[in-house]
Amino acid sequence: MQSHKTSVRLLYWLTLASGMLECLFFSGVVFGYASLVFVLKEDGYFSHLCFNGPDNNGTTVEDCSRQDEKFALVFTIASFLNNFMIVFCGFLFDRFGTMVTRLLAICLYTTGTLLVTFSNATLSMLLYPALPCIAVGGILLLMTNVQVGNLFAARRSTIITLYSGAFDSSSSVFLIIKVLHEQGISLRSSFLVLSLCSIMHVVRTFILMPRTRIPYPVPQCYTYGLKCGKSNSHNMEQRARDEARPVSTESSLPSFRSCVLSWFFMCHLLWLSIMQLRHYLFIGTLNPMLTRLAKNDANLVSRYTNAFAMTQLCGVLCAPWNGLILDRHKGKPLAPGETEQEADLRSSLPSLFLTALQCLLFSLCASIPCLPLQYFTFILQVINRSFIYGGNAAFINIVFPACHFGKLYGFVMSTSAVITLLQFPCFALVKGPLGGDPFYVDLVLTLITLAVFIHPLYVFIHCKKSAHLRRNRHSVTFDVKVPDESK
């Protein structure tokens, strides 16, 4: 029996470690797009859109604004579909489970990397389907890995935020590709290696992941994977779901519709959408912004692009801070009458407020046209982004039933994706009427960012009301019991 428990714990840790590597090197690579654009420009993608024209001083210079618009459009489509398609994948995950969802993710991811592998300057249009496939496949890999936190109940939020941080840090993969390209290794070779790595994803799907979902709380000696045997693994997972969610409580769970129409969900959607739009616009316009501030100095742009990509590596280090904030109450006694879910919600309040404050500071720094200041902007960006996505998954896990996680996670990401479509008209506005100066667009976005504080404010008011009701209930119970004791 002891040896069986040891093997189960080993299985859990192998799942955690392999999921960490998967998120760190594959899931969010598309957000290193600024590094990839530098390589694509060197390889001549969309270069036919550049032309020589006079600047304000009458000097003839190369105008590549239309090329920048194409690259911005590629990222806009990829970032939009990265979120929008998740709602359908969320329903797929809740209906068919982990294995089917992961196989779809691997197919999309491999298709995207192969399209980039066979693209060139003549076939630049292949970037339009390639980047969205990589983006959607990557976010699906993250979605299926979030449930691994259920295996470690005491640190569930920490693991969820750790995986989200690894998702952020994976954007540095395109920096590695950029550095290798500068050393003579072609873009085609790098993406061919990424395509071959899909074999590892398939192996992990069958050996270290469940067929359906990991329940919460996890039953004793819960196991999964091929090592259990096909039928035994299926029965173990079925029994785990039955133990974790009794039939008697099924009807008491809120419906998916009521979850979506709740104020918690509405405020959370506003919180995520505004911050995500700010980050996506920053990433999508980073290359032309650096080019403008560096006065077309390619070496200086390369140095700042490398600095930005290097800071993305720190996402995996920053994200657990948010998890520690969310899990800080674990193991401590609950207040009288307080449920574990209420305690989890109360602990999410500092996380939501701190994330909103970080975004405001990041937006302010990004709005100031000072090149050296962008180093600090990069640091704020990676810290805030790691807090956003880790906090997003953790909050949904805390507030809403586990049976709706895939659908709600997908719905909030998809709905927020519609808002992020505003990044392309913002980019067109900067390139057109504003003459390349994004100051006024940044200023408006910074003012809009103030609205993200509505979410933590609502949670604060809700927690205050709940605490007041508990005190009143406790007081009434005490008053009723006193006469009985006196008798």
Tens-digit pLDDT string for the chain (487 aa): 667 788 888 888 999 999 999 998 998 898 888 889 889 988 989 888 887 766 666 666 677 778 888 888 898 888 888 878 877 887 888 888 899 999 999 999 999 999 999 999 899 999 999 999 999 999 899 889 988 888 887 787 788 888 888 887 888 899 899 999 989 999 999 999 999 999 999 999 999 899 888 887 788 778 887 655 444 444 455 554 444 444 444 456 788 889 889 999 999 999 999 998 998 888 878 878 888 888 888 889 889 988 888 887 787 788 788 888 887 766 677 777 777 778 888 888 899 999 999 999 999 999 998 899 999 999 999 899 888 877 888 888 888 887 787 788 888 888 887 887 787 788 778 777 877 778 888 889 999 999 999 999 999 999 888 888 877 776 655 454 444 444 4
Phi, psi at residue 370, to the nearest 5°? -125, 115
Amino acid 357: pLDDT: 95
Q: Which residue has the tokens 């918690």?
A: 264
C-alpha span between 252 and 269 (Å, rounded): 25
C-alpha span between 119 and 188 (Å, rounded): 8
Cis? peptide before 483, omega within 30° of 0: no
Note whether 413 and 94 are within 8 A (CB): no
Note whether 365 and 377 are within 8 A (CB): yes
Closest CA to 316 of 141, 172, 167: 167
C-alpha span between 170 and 142 (Å, rounded): 11
Q: Name the β-bridge partners of 62.
A: 52
Q: Name the β-bridge partners of 54.
A: 60
Amino acid 384: pLDDT: 92
Note whether 326 and 344 are within 8 A (CB): yes
Amino acid 1: pLDDT: 60
Q: Please name each of the domains of the chain with its CATH number.
A: 2-53+60-243+259-486 (1.20.1250.20)
Instruction: Cite the DSSP H helix spans in 147-229.
Output: 156-169, 173-182, 187-196, 198-207
Q: Which residue has the tokens 């969320």?
A: 90
Residues 6 or more apart from 415 whose CB is under 8 A from it?
87, 269, 273
Give the single-character DSSP code of 219. Answer: P
C-alpha span between 181 and 192 (Å, rounded): 14
Tokens of 440: 């006024």
Amino acid 60: pLDDT: 66
10 Å CB burial of residue 229 (0-12, 13-18, 19+) is exposed
Alpha carbons within 13 A on the beta-carbon side of 270: 16
Give the single-character DSSP code of 297. Answer: -
Q: Which residue has the tokens 């090329």?
A: 67
Q: How many residues make up the chain in this entry? A: 487
Helix then strand then coil, in percent of the chain rounded to 5, is: 80, 0, 20
Amino acid 57: pLDDT: 62
Amino acid 116: pLDDT: 94
C-alpha span between 194 and 98 (Å, rounded): 22
Closest CA to 147 of 331, 384, 338, 393: 393
Closest CA to 341 of 163, 463, 448, 477: 463
Note whether 411 and 261 are within 8 A (CB): no
Q: Which amino acid would we find at residue 247?
A: V
Closest CA to 350 of 323, 386, 314: 323
Note whether 363 and 337 are within 8 A (CB): no
Can you give the C-alpha Rg of the chain in angstroms? 24
